[in-house]
Chain A
Amino acid sequence: MRTLRFLLQKEFRQILRSKSLLFSIILGPIIQLTLLPLAANFEVKKIAVAVVDHDHSTYSRKLIDKIYASKYFSNGRYRESYKEGAKLVEQNNADIVLEIPHNFEVNMVRDGHEELFIAVNAINGTKAGVGSGYLGAIIADFNQNIRLQWDQPGHFAEAASIDLVNENWYNPFMNYFLYMVPGLMVSLLTGIGAFSASLNIVKEKEIGTIEQINVTPVKKYDFILAKLIPYWVLSMFVFTIGMIISRVAYNIVPVGNISLLYGFLSVYLLTLLGAGLLISTYSDTQQQAVSLAFFFVLVFNMISGVFTPIDSMPGWGQVLSYISPMSHFAAVMRMVVLKGSTFHDILPHFVAIIILAVIFNTWAILNYRKTT
């Protein structure tokens, strides 16, 4: 224990003294947490519609007004021909071209039906799907309206309608920050944990001081603990700052128990620092450690469910996601903050993360050698 005290004293001195490290560990997340949520907004809105109106009738103008009145569509441009509309799409100045044919209104009244032509830039599949869906809904609504307005009762059969009664739980105002900020916090903590611990140990290798430690009676686990504890404490601190930022800047108050979050985080950090340690035992230079850490952090991030839904992944992707520690923390974070999930709800994630912690740390300690 006494040895550990001196090892820890040294680590803390070095960390607190390194301005650039402290800057990147503490200020970095603060900046990212205030800027990223502003950008990380997947909501599909402000879809630019180019309208080619060959009809210029009351119907067509009403339809166009209705489209632009929606919050999903930004005020678009009018073009005289489809070709010109398509040109706007090519230049990325429009997402959708809506073409209203000649005699749209006349045909509607006379024949009882008419076609509208819609072309969607589908390079971004999600935006295209959701956007054309919104447009379809507006057109259907418009359709319903003109029927009610123009139809003589009894002339045609009345259409039956189904009402969707829609309840949005946990986030009734559909606040996107509420969902993204906790996720981004998980992403940031993961980056710090994996990079800092691995780089720190490799640095001692590079400058040769690790040799000196190896000839002292310092025990392997003391040395490793002394490397992990400071970053564990630091990450807890960064998490606390993150919670304060999300409270102040985004008004996010966890519905669930905060101590549950800290409890889970403390185990999660063990897993993560173990992974960082593992990377350091496989690297000889900082460049290598950065490369390895970067690779894994990237993969962890992408399959974590923070940015894309896990349900959409194929089976083996979901398995991959399950064995990556970050997915569990992301899930727990959102569950507790947004839904007030209890210990019982998050128990499966807890078990998974403990198993992962044991695996990473055992592997790392076995792989760290004092002798050759």
Chain B
Amino acid sequence: MDNIAIKADKLTKRFGDFVAVDAITFDVKQGEIFGFVGANGAGKTTAMRILCGLSVPTSGTATVAGFDVYKQAEEIKKNIGYMSQKFSLYEDLTVMENITFYAGIYGLSDKEIKDRGAELLDRLGITAEAKTFVGSLPLGWKQKLAFSVAVIHRPKIVFLDEPTGGVDPVTRRQFWDLIYEASDRGITAFVTTHYMDEAEYCGRVSVMVDGRIDAFDTPANLKKQFSVNSMNEVFYQLARGAKRKAD
């Protein structure tokens, strides 16, 4: 099963008697754009943190890029990129310095850093801003830059945790273009979001409610299954049954 990027089987995480992630089972194919949606507090971020090796599961199994989340967390980290909802670049470093830093700690050679850095700046059209401090860039640019930096080492999988929060619709569209481009290059994208229009852009979507995966299919099939016209309505139908309060 070479074309499976992520596989989770009855993956569970408890904090005391609170079950944050409740025996979720799913798989993500290589190169797929996988949407991970759910209300606030449904357990999306916890699940993602487990897959990134930031948190150890309580029970169940999962592999990421073929590596076990229990024993091979450090191997996983070499093969993934990550962009969190909190802005993750250093505001007191320039654009190019941020690129150099992240590329460097992923072990790229000096030549690779130079070439890919130039290519990245070119693709985003910000070559002129290479020496600008990241803190003074507009939010939309920062988000696009953060994504490009997260894939600079050409990981197998990139995890995006609510990447488009607070961004205007035009920039969101451009941001998704970047995700498609990465996907075309064979990078699997694992995206959490609560914008339902973004869920429409995904290859397959899983909907989390109260720590469980209550629905899991392509957007088209989900709409058919719930006999509605948009992902928004799919989500409303599922989320209505939620017992957990949003955080």
Contact = CB atoms under 8 A, between A and B. Distances in A.
Contact of B86 (A18, A208, A370, A372): A208
A216 B93 CA distance: 19
A2 B84 contact: no
B229 interface: no
Among A18, A207, A211, A218, find the residue whose CB has the most chain B CB atoms closer than 10 A: A211
A209 B56 CA distance: 20
A257 interface: no
Q: Is the interface of A mostly helix, strand, loop or mixed?
A: helix
A13 to B, nearest CB: 6
Band of interface residues on A: 20 to 34
B88 A209 contact: yes
Contacts of B53: 215, 371
Contacts of A218: 105
B180 interface: no
Contact of A14 (B56, B93, B106, B159): B93
Given A208-B84, A370-B54, A371-B55, A217 B106 contact: yes
Nearest to A208: B86
A372 to B, nearest CB: 5
Interface residues of B, number: 30
B52 interface: yes
Given A211-B88, A216-B106, A217-B107, A10 B54 contact: no
Contacts of A213: 105
Interface of A: 2-3, 5-7, 9-10, 13-14, 17-18, 207-209, 211-218, 370-372
Given A10-B93, A208-B87, 9 more contacts: A3-B104, A3-B105, A9-B104, A208-B86, A211-B54, A211-B88, A212-B84, A217-B77, A218-B105
30 contacts: A3-B107, A6-B104, A6-B105, A7-B101, A7-B105, A9-B104, A10-B90, A10-B93, A10-B101, A14-B92, A14-B93, A207-B86, A207-B91, A208-B84, A208-B87, A208-B88, A211-B54, A212-B82, A215-B54, A215-B80, A215-B82, A216-B82, A216-B102, A371-B55, A371-B56, A371-B73, A372-B49, A372-B54, A372-B55, A372-B56
